[in-house]
Amino acid sequence: MHPKLKTFTDTLEALFHEVDEVLEDQWGDCFPLHPNRPKRNETANPEMDGLFEIAPDFTLGIGSNRGRGYLVSCRVATLQAVPPEQLEAFMDTAVLIIRDKLPVYFPGRQLEVIRDGKGYKIIGDFSLGDI
């Protein structure tokens, strides 16, 4: 992987780890944790423990009017049924944080979070500059 792409990816991952922390703080105890899922902070990667798995998933945007970007993926690690309105509340909180923090994590870049179909996607300047 190119060093500039690794830096971009690592920064995006750090942003999503911060989002995970907020979701866990606010709602980490609202559903029983899946029996096979480690408790919060038991792994080195917040995506792999606790109630939430919030992650950016790159898409080429085929079939989307907005093109390529990073889908905002939010999963809840529980066996209990999560009502759709609760999932939407989790996602709305995540999107607000991402919108607020994108300029902090990526100063000078034109990135935004948009609704794309039923989900959200980060779009904008993913250029790596002169390589």
pLDDT score at 75: 94
pLDDT score at 19: 97
pLDDT score at 118: 86
pLDDT score at 106: 96
Q: List per-residue pLDDT tens for the chain, 131 residues long.
A: 788 889 999 999 999 999 999 999 999 999 999 999 999 999 988 889 999 999 999 999 888 888 899 999 999 999 999 999 999 999 999 999 999 999 999 999 999 999 998 899 999 998 887 65
In 9-129 the beta strands, taken as DSSP E runs, fall at 52-59, 69-76, 111-116, 119-124
26 SS3 class:
helix
User: pTM value?
Assistant: 0.90
pLDDT score at 25: 96
pLDDT score at 130: 63
Helix 84-105 vs helix 3-27: crossing angle, to nearest 10: 140
Q: Where are the domains of the chain?
A: 3-124
Asked if residue 37 lies in contact with residue 46, where contact means CB atoms within 8 angstroms, the answer is no
Contacts of range 27-34, beta carbons closer than 8 Å, 24 or more positions apart: 27/51, 27/52, 27/90, 28/52, 30/86, 31/76, 31/78, 31/80, 31/82, 32/78, 32/79, 32/80, 33/77, 33/78, 34/77, 34/78, 34/79
